[in-house]
């Protein structure tokens, strides 16, 4: 199946049934690894909202949940010119077992920033659970990535929380961009 979003056409890549099955397995893994613990799951908005909701239904250990947003704005005091900050961290993480829930890890730069900030809160442990990982795009190894739904090629994807120009987050399945012959 294909969908058109604004100027781009996308083709179906991962169906919701596959996502659900994989999410169930991730839940089983988390239930084993966090047995007798009370982890804090932190969803990174906006993209993770559907994955977080489905994943949490598969997690049966007692757990706290929260969402944060990583905001970027242009500044003049960093080499890249982009300054990031975290909005919405409302749980004391000191001594806690933290699981960051991401929709997708691409270059890993956002996650690297997030980990640096979270470590300052002195959690007992930090693990990352991401639905999608683009191994070929990763710019540095992140050993905290312990739970991965699907490793995918270095292609742009939308749906199931992920957007293109703000649209497509409410698609049930995940779609990948089909470049026009002139764009390849
Ligand atoms: P990173 O810092 O790992 O390069 O990028 C992380 C963010 O970039 C993700 O949280 C997501 O918002 C966005 N991103 C990276 N790859 C994709 C993609 O294929 N599709 C969409 N919709 N967003 C992406």
Helix (H, G, I), strand (E, B) or coil at 171: coil
Q: Count Cβ atoms below 10 Å from residue 104 Cβ, excluding itself.
A: 22
106 is catalytic: yes
CATH architecture of 22-158: 3-Layer(aba) Sandwich (3.40)
Contacts of 4 by beta carbon, 8 Å cutoff, 6+ apart:
10
Q: Can you list the positions of beta strands (E) in the chain? A: 2-5, 8-14, 40-45, 64-74, 82-87, 97-105, 125-133, 145-151, 157-158, 174-177
Contacts of 43 by beta carbon, 8 Å cutoff, 6+ apart:
49, 51, 52, 65, 66, 67, 68, 101
- 117 pLDDT tier (thresholds 50, 70, 90): very high
Question: What tens digit of pLDDT does each residue of 93-112 get?
Answer: 999 999 999 999 999 998 99
Composition of the chain by helix, strand, coil, percent to 5: 20, 40, 40
Tokens 């994943």, located at residue? 55
Residues in the chain: 184
Closest residue (by CA) to atom 23 of ligand 1?
162
Q: Is the pTM of this model over 0.85?
A: yes
Question: What tens digit of pLDDT does each residue of 122-179 get?
Answer: 999 999 999 999 999 999 889 999 999 999 999 999 999 999 999 999 999 999 998 8
Dist. CA 173 → ligand 1 center (Å)? 17
Dist. CA 102 → ligand 1 center (Å)? 10
Q: Which of 3, 152, 162 to mutate to test the pocket of ligand 1 (most atoms within 8 A of CB)?
A: 162
Question: For 183, which DSSP code?
Answer: G
32: left (phi > 0), else alpha (psi -120 to 50), else beta? Answer: alpha
Question: What tens digit of pLDDT does each residue of 47-77 get?
Answer: 999 999 999 999 999 999 999 999 876 554 4
């Amino acid at each position: 199946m294909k969908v058109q979003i604004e100027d781009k056409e996308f083709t179906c890549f991962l169906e919701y049934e596959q996502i659900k099955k994989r999410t169930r397995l991730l839940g089983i893994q988390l239930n084993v690894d966090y047995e007798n613990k009370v982890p804090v799951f932190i969803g990174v908005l906006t993209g993770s909202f559907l994955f977080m909701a489905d994943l949490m239904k598969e997690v049966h250990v007692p757990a706290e949940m929260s969402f944060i947003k990583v905001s970027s704005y242009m500044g003049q005091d960093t080499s890249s010119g982009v300054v990031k900050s975290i909005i919405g961290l409302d749980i004391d993480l000191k001594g806690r077992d933290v699981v960051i829930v991401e929709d997708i890890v691409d270059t890993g730069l956002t996650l690297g920033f997030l980990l640096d900030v979270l470590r300052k809160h002195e959690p007992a442990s930090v693990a990352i659970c991401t639905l999608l990982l683009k191994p070929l795009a990763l710019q540095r190894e992140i050993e905290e990535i312990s739970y991965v739904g699907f490793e995918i090629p270095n292609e742009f994807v939308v749906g199931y929380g992920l957007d293109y120009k703000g649209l497509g987050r409410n698609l049930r399945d995940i779609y990948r961009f089909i470049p026009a012959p002139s764009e390849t």
